[in-house]
């Protein structure tokens, strides 16, 4: 266990990267991967996602070099909500050279409902060169407690233990994590609310003529075109917080988290009101 999945990303960087090494990151994605690499003086190789923000395995493989040490896969991906299918993950793991490790970030895996989705753990069990990251910050609702964990082979775990501080996770966080794992009622209720919320948002976005990326996560990436920044500010003025896509270079998009039915309803009514003013 680690002090959030963020710390594990840093520990992986410290374990496997040196100056002038390279990591491959599909883009756009979670910024902490870049931070960990730069902390060690390594170079970040960004591989753009496809037209609908799908993962491009061939493009990833084409960027592997002798300096490549890590390939990051965030699935479902933050901020797009798109995912890497089990078959494509298997293809990637079968194709990479021995000196490369795949870091599979499954922070949002509990929200994924696609039949061909894999959280990566089955590939750890099959001894592929992969480490799976998990966190209690998302579906378990323990973001402020700061606790995450990784699943990997004994060899990889031993490498990471060499750089891990001995008391990095406090006892309160450990107790909370154990309690969260046993609360299946909360887990299933959260999954149901999220799936219903996605459908609720999709229906209204379709009615409003807004393009969105179908998501396997607890947020939806929505295109507002040149009005994105205006919509973002107006939502903030109405007490509704979303994420501006400009953070990831997606200036025409907003990343909108899924809430309860009533929260989603207020969000959608406010968006419709803002657009009607244009």
Rounded percentage of the chain residues whose pLDDT exceeds 90:
99
State the DSSP string of 35-93: HHHHHTTPEEEEEE--TTS---HHHHHHT--TTEEEEEEESS-TTT----BHHHHHHHH
Distance CA(78)–CA(86), nearest Å, equals 18
113-124 mean pLDDT: 98
CB atoms within 10 A of CB 16: 23
Q: Which helix (H) or strand (E) holds 129?
A: none
Distance CA(108)–CA(104), nearest Å, equals 11
State the DSSP string of 181-230: HH-HHHHHHHHHHHHHHHHHHHHHHHHHT-EEE--SSSEEEEE-GGGHHH
Span 11-50, pLDDT tens digits: 999 999 999 999 999 999 999 999 999 999 999 999 999 9
Distance CA(95)–CA(99), nearest Å, equals 12
Q: Is the pLDDT of residue 130 over 90?
A: yes
Q: Is the pLDDT of residue 179 over 80?
A: yes
Which two structure tokens, joined as six digits, stand for 1? 């266990």
The separation between CA 96 and the C-alpha centre of its own chain, rounded to angstroms, equals 22
- For 3, 74, 197, 234, 265, the CA distances from 261, given in Å and listed in that order, are 32, 27, 6, 21, 6
Q: What is the pLDDT of residue 35?
A: 97
Span 84-111, pLDDT tens digits: 999 999 999 999 999 999 999 999 999 9
Q: What is the three-class DSSP state of 168?
A: coil
Q: What is the three-class DSSP state of 97?
A: coil
- pTM exceeds 0.85, yes or no: yes
pLDDT band at 112 (very low <50, low <70, confident <90, very high): very high
What is the domain partition of the chain in residue ranges? Answer: 4-182, 185-276
- For 22, 23, 187, 209, the CA distances from 33, given in Å and listed in that order, are 11, 9, 27, 34
CATH of domain 4-182: 3.40.640.10
pLDDT band at 174 (very low <50, low <70, confident <90, very high): very high
CB 215 within 8 A of CB 76: yes
| Class in CATH terms, 185-276 | alpha beta
- For 101, 155, 226, the CA distances from 21, given in Å and listed in that order, are 13, 21, 38
pLDDT band at 278 (very low <50, low <70, confident <90, very high): confident
Q: What is the pLDDT of residue 132?
A: 98
54-83 mean pLDDT: 98
pLDDT band at 136 (very low <50, low <70, confident <90, very high): very high
Q: Helix 4-16 to helix 32-39 angle, to the nearest 10 degrees?
A: 40
Span 182-231, pLDDT tens digits: 999 999 999 999 999 999 999 999 999 999 999 999 999 999 999 999 99
């Amino acid at each position: 266990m680690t002090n959030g999945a963020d710390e594990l990303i840093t520990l992986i960087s410290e374990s496997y990267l040196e100056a002038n090494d390279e990591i491959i990151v599909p883009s756009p994605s979670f910024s902490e991967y870049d931070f960990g690499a730069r902390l060690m003086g390594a170079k970040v190789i960004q591989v753009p996602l496809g037209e609908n923000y799908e993962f491009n395995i061939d493009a990833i493989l084409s960027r592997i070099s002798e300096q490549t040490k890590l390939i990051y896969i965030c699935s479902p991906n933050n901020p797009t909500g798109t995912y890497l299918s089990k078959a494509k993950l298997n293809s990637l793991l079968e194709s990479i050279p021995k000196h490369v490790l795949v870091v599979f970030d499954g922070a949002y895996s509990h929200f994924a409902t696609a039949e061909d989705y894999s959280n990566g753990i089955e590939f750890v069990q099959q001894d592929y060169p992969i480490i799976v990251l998990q966190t209690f910050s998302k579906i378990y609702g323990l973001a402020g407690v700061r606790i995450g964990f990784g699943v990997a082979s004994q060899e990889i775990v031993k490498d990471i233990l060499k750089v891990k501080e001995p008391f990095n996770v406090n006892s309160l966080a450990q107790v909370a994590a154990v309690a969260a794992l046993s609360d299946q009622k909360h887990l299933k209720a959260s999954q149901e609310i999220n799936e219903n919320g996605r459908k609720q948002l999709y229906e209204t976005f379709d009615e409003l003529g807004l393009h969105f990326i179908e998501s396997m996560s607890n947020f939806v990436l929505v295109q507002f075109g040149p009005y994105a920044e205006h919509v973002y500010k107006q939502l903030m003025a109405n007490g509704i917080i979303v994420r501006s896509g400009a953070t990831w270079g997606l200036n025409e998009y907003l990343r909108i988290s899924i809430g309860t039915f009533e929260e989603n309803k207020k969000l959608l009514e406010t968006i419709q009101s803002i657009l009607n003013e244009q």
